[in-house]
Amino acid sequence: MKIQPTGLALIISVYPCLMAIGCDTSEPRGRYNPTTIIMVRHAEKATGSTDPPLATEGRKRAKELVFMLEDVPLDAIYSTSFKRTLETAQAVSDDKGLDTVVYDADVPLDLFSEILETYPGGSVLIIGHSNSIPAMANLLADSKDFSLCGTYDHMLVASVFKIGKAKVTTLKYRQAVSR
């Protein structure tokens, strides 16, 4: 079952409160509301380069990501410095009117500390890689359960009050089709 964008926005806005005991949405943003971190692997890449751009299929998938996030209010977008992640992020950045912030995937703890301090109670998108995104989800949830196994269609949504105590949900989104 594919979740439509409006449904995704509902999940992202309601899920954190369902996970939080005593969540009071009348309180100021961030005080009792978790930060939502949406993590996806870059879209399909072209071949033949050490830093390939997106393939045609990847550009279509990046547009699908825009569609999936159209009703989700994002505060920031983070990407590694590779062409494929930056191009995936650019599609969403253009749609949301946000700049993409480049991060170092080798120090996710620094990234999460920055996000939780800068965007408490907000929503942030992270574009990464097949190895870094599951590692980040596992760090946030203090788990070993998350793996993307080479797929491009997974979206991990973390509801984070504290690093190591997050609730992470795995969603799928498909490649764009003609609309």
Q: Give the residue numbers spanning the domain of 157.
A: 5-172
Asked if residue 146 has pLDDT above 70, the reply is yes
End-to-end CA distance of the chain: 18
- Asked, for residue 84, whether it belongs to a domain, the answer is yes
Contact residues for 56 (Cβ-Cβ < 8 A; gap 6+) = none
Return the pLDDT at 5: 57
Overall number of domains in the chain: 1
Helices assigned H by DSSP within 4-49: 5-19
- Asked, for residue 123, whether it belongs to a domain, the answer is yes
- Asked, for residue 43, whether it belongs to a domain, the answer is yes
Tens of pLDDT, residues 81-139: 999 999 999 999 999 999 999 999 999 999 999 999 999 999 999 999 999 999 999 99
Tens of pLDDT, residues 1-33: 455 555 565 555 545 444 443 444 444 555 578
159 close to 34: Cβ distance less than 8 angstroms = yes
- Asked, for residue 93, whether it belongs to a domain, the answer is yes
Closest CA to 159 of 11, 35, 27, 75: 35
- Asked, for residue 179, whether it belongs to a domain, the answer is no
What's 148's domain CATH number? Answer: 3.40.50.1240
